[in-house]
Structure 1
Amino acid sequence: MNPNPGSNFPIVSYVMSRLPSLTGRTTTTTTSTSTALESNQVDVEQPLAPPSSDQPHIVGQMPNLTDPKLLASMTRAISDVSQTRIVLDLLGSRPNHEDVDDSRARIGEIEAQLSSQLEEIVLLPRPAEIDIHAWRAHQAEKERECRELAEKEKRVYKAVVQLDEMHDAYEKLLREAEKRLVKIYESAEDVEDGGGDGGDAGDGDGDEEVDEEVVGILNEAYGNGMERVNLSGRGLRFLPEAFGRIPGLVVLDISTNQLSAIPDSIAGLENLEELNISSNLLESLPDSIGLLQKLKFLYVSGNKLSALPDSICQCRSLVVLDASFNNLSYLPTNIGFELPNLQKLLIQLNKIRSLPSSVCEMKSLRYLDANFNALHGLPIAIGRLTNLEFLNLSSNFSDLKELPETFGDLINLSELDLSNNQIHALPDSFGRLDKLTKLNLEQNPLELPPPEIVNQGVTTIKTFMAKRWIDILMEEERKGNEEMQEQGQSSWLTKSTSWLKNVPGNVVGYLGPTSSTPKSTSEAFLDRQL
């Protein structure tokens, strides 16, 4: 059954219903409400009834939900949900199970029909009056027409299945978001219990309480040499400069707050190895972050970053960099040259149009997720990432149309997602991806390999492309041999002509004298003797 987000995810539903960009659309909400009632579904962002009549139960159970600070913190924590919802709004509502099952069955029927048609084309006898080469060209044209027609017929059914899968992924996202909101609420309750009656005070008193708590944690961390500090989900709006005076700090988690800036003093955390500042309001990172020479794990997802500072390239110990769910349009030019130890790079859900060529120098990179961007292609030298095991390039939509020939050099690639793009053909070197075990090519206008090969799975695709690669190499070798022979013959003729030009005149005269040539005196004397 299709889950009911309003009942299964009450906190997410409550928070999303209070987003200004959504609650202001009264006409849309009314229309969506009537539709939801008819289909027995509930939109997580548009509750069936106004909050005053339909949601007091959740507020009664969790009264602190009315706290503006807590609500703002929760809103930031589910930024990924709202962004994904925008995409789903564009794609349409979730199809019912009957439509999905019918679509899958129809796809199977079309593929079976296509296989039968292709078999008939192959077995059709060649008329005696038609040349074999012309007949093969005719067969190839017929096969292409059949494939194109089948692909057109399947397109609408595949779209239904894909949309259902995306909604299923959205439900999983909702589940994770609900868990995050519960943790945030529990953390806020702990803060309130520790502060006595301060929870009913004004904004100024609330800020002062948070500040006092943070100061207390700082003092404890500085005095006891704490290695880990967790201030996630505390509604923090700023960090005091004193944070930079805890030299023994190894792990700092200040995610899911309302931070709009990180102080430059963070450079004083000389032993910091893990920094989590995801789900905040950050529009930029301080240049001083490049002084964190021991930093291995950096999480900055779910912010408003339009760019990463060039100084981040100085964090040469980085192993994991998560910059997903931001507004990035590019990566630092030298990021690949300066981060030799980076193994995991997550940049999904941004606006990146191209990857810098230096990315190809990340010899330690094993995991690269760049889905939901605007990539127009990959660097030509992408094949240098010989340790890459996971690559997600899905949902770059109309922008990603082809892959470079060096793609086949990714010899350790085991999982690849290319769905929802405009790729017409896989590179000829694709068959060299021996370790590839998982492949998603859905929602691409693929012509090479043909659909009947794609539908048989990754092993068949690799075999087909490998055979094609061998055929190409053999054809190139044949052409090379022909060119060498032609050059050899041309060289022999040139030498022969040159030799004839240099033959002495008396020899030529001896080999082919004409009757009109007068005989010499000696010749006449010999004739008389004979």
Structure 2
Amino acid sequence: MDPAPQTHPILSYVLSRIPTLSKPRPAAASEFDIEQPPAHTPSPRTPSTAGEFELVERMPGLRHPSVLRAMTRAVADVSAARSALQVLGPRPDHELVDSSRAIVAAAEAGDSRIPEGDVEACRAVVRLEETHDAYEALLQEAEARLERVYRSAMEGTDLDDEAVEKGGEDGGPAAGADGGDAAVQEEVVAVLRQAEEGKPVESVRLVDRQLRLLPEAFGRIQGLRVLDVSRNQLEVIPDAIGGLDHVEELHLAANALISLPDTIGLLSNLKILNVSSNRLRALPDSISKCRLLVELDASYNGLTYLPTNIGYELVNLRKLWVHMNKLRSLTSSVCEMTSLYLLDAHFNELCGLPSAFGKLSSLEILNLSSNFSDLKELPASFGDLLNLRELDLSNNQIHALPDTFGRLDKLEKLNLEQNPLAMPPMDIVNKGVDAVKEYMSKRWLDILLEEEQRRIAAETPQASSTPKAWLARSVSWVTDVSGSFVGYLSGSEKSEKDAYLDQQF
């Protein structure tokens, strides 16, 4: 329920330091225990993780107590909502939500066979899901609000100004201009003027400029190969972006994008696309038309599915990051990405993999960790990933590795932690990847031998298995063979070919 540092870095930083903003209550003498150190709470001045160090380096004002206090006041609603959700309980399983919605819809359509108590229980599940959705939206809004509070503090605006904390509706410094502040506007204008004058513009990097609007004129910059507008406040990418015929890299990470324009499919030379850390619920189907795409990063969004034909068209894709989403399945067309080298789909809601997953013959790095209760098994074709070197299956509900797992000879790194594994046994798993490979390889060979024995048994006519019958069959077989051999030597019924062989002998 706490905001993730990866998607809401400022909010996570502020909420983790709320206890430090008030003076600690002195412990009573009876409560003091010399053997127990005091509970540690992160200092408002000292970052405690790598992510926080990076954040404070980018926003050094976060160390100032007055800035932190203003931010704390600005996210009081988040603290209240978090407390309420802790009482209501965790987010329900997506399958439960889907079935509950179906039952409620059927009841509202007039189906009287459903007990009223069941309908009410299903409505409660749907309401809880909607509450969690609203909480996620609140987190996104709070993150943007903290950005405005920080910016206002750095500009010298009164931190107690209520309008600042609400987002600068009165048109103060926090409201800003559509293109960011004056300096950023000048930078944008300079780029466009250079392009209009016919001067070559191959790369435009406007990272962390607080941009809220990307002018359509950017879509008319001929010869542009790299466009990077990451870490801004963009909510929309103009359709004119499709006019960038030569663009090879497009970086839109860490904005507030809800959707991408369909014209993105016109970027026929695009090789690298980064749309991570936005609010995307889906990727446009037209993205499949970017056939030269080599790297696609759509992590840290709210994706629930991938375009149906994405694998049939993106045959050159080498790296695909879709972790930290809400994917319930991978479309079967993904199995056609025969050039795919890396696939990261951890922290989703995957219920399984396509049956033809083993067709990803170039795959070397695969991360399917933290799909928790949803991922329970792997397809039999998994053993066809013969080039796989690194595999992370931790934090799932996998009970057994597929029998074909023993074929993964090139596997070097394997993480199976936090799974209720019975096959292979945990004592084998604890010995490491080589022990698992050896165990599963031997098991695979045993299965092949058993299948071969069954095949031979099925092809052999049924006969009595008594010693007498076996002896009779053996004598008959020897008699037949010896008789044929004697007949051959005696010259009876020799063909022309036999005569020729005798001459050679």
TM-score interval, smaller chain: 0.5 to 0.7
2:389 to 414, 418, 427: 414
Match of 2:38 in 1: 38
User: Percentage identity across aligned positions?
Assistant: 55
Q: 2:312 touches 2:336 (CA, 8 Å); kept in 1?
A: yes
Give 1:59 shift. 3.8
Match of 1:272 in 2: 247
Q: What do the CA deviations read for 1:30-62 (whole angstroms, capped 9, x no partner)?
A: 7999999922341779999xxxxxx9x954988
SS of residue in 2 equivalent to 1:229: strand
Q: What do the CA deviations read for 1:170-222 (whole angstroms, capped 9, x no partner)?
A: xxxxxxxxxxx9xx99xx99xxxxxxxxxx96745665553333111221244
| One-letter amino acid matched to 2:397 | Q
Q: 2:20 touches 2:41 (CA, 8 Å); kept in 1?
A: no
2:295 to 320, 338, 363: 320
Q: What do the CA deviations read for 1:228-270 (whole angstroms, capped 9, x no partner)?
A: 0000100000111100111110000000000000000001110
1:459 to 409, 413, 434: 434
Give 1:226 shift. 1.3
RMSD: 4.1
SS of residue in 2 equivalent to 1:475: helix
Match of 1:211 in 2: 185
Q: What do the CA deviations read for 1:115-156 (whole angstroms, capped 9, x no partner)?
A: xxxxxxxxxxxxxxxxxxxxxxxxxxxxxxxxxxxxxxxxxx
Change (3 A) 1:227 1:487: farther
Q: 2:342 touches 2:363 (CA, 8 Å); kept in 1?
A: yes
The structure carrying a bigger helix percent of its residues is 1
TM-score by length of 2: 0.61
Partner Cα distance (1:419, 1:474) in 2: 31
**1:336 and 2:290 correspond:** no
Partner Cα distance (1:444, 1:335) in 2: 31
Match of 1:371 in 2: 346
Written as runs of structure 1 = structure 2, the 5 A alignment for 1:197-276 is 203=175, 207=181, 209-223=183-197, 224-276=199-251
SS of residue in 2 equivalent to 1:38: coil
**1:473 and 2:455 correspond:** no
SS of residue in 1 equivalent to 2:460: helix
2:328 to 350, 353, 358: 353
Match of 2:367 in 1: 392
Change (3 A) 1:209 1:352: same
Change (3 A) 1:465 1:47: closer
Q: 2:45 touches 2:64 (CA, 8 Å); kept in 1?
A: no
Partner Cα distance (1:485, 1:457) in 2: 43
Q: Structure 1 residues 203-212 or 259-268, which shifts more? A: 203-212
Q: What do the CA deviations read for 1:451-497 (whole angstroms, capped 9, x no partner)?
A: 111111111111110110111111111122222224588xxxxxxxx
Give 1:313 shift. 0.2
SS of residue in 2 equivalent to 1:219: helix
SS of residue in 2 equivalent to 1:225: coil
Q: Please, which runs of 5 or more residues in structure 2 have no aligned partner? A: 28-35, 49-55, 76-84, 91-146, 156-171, 465-505
Written as runs of structure 1 = structure 2, the 5 A alignment for 1:122-201 is none
Partner Cα distance (2:47, 2:413) in 1: 39
Q: 1:33 touches 1:46 (CA, 8 Å); kept in 2?
A: no
Greater relative contact order (CA < 8 Å, ≥ 6 in sequence) = 1
SS of residue in 2 equivalent to 1:448: coil
Partner Cα distance (1:295, 1:483) in 2: 56
Q: 2:305 touches 2:329 (CA, 8 Å); kept in 1?
A: yes
| One-letter amino acid matched to 2:343 | L
Match of 1:437 in 2: 412
Is the radius of gyration larger for structure 1 or structure 2?
A: 1
Match of 1:80 in 2: none
Partner Cα distance (1:274, 1:268) in 2: 14
Partner Cα distance (1:212, 1:354) in 2: 45
Partner Cα distance (2:372, 2:307) in 1: 24
Partner Cα distance (1:389, 1:13) in 2: 31
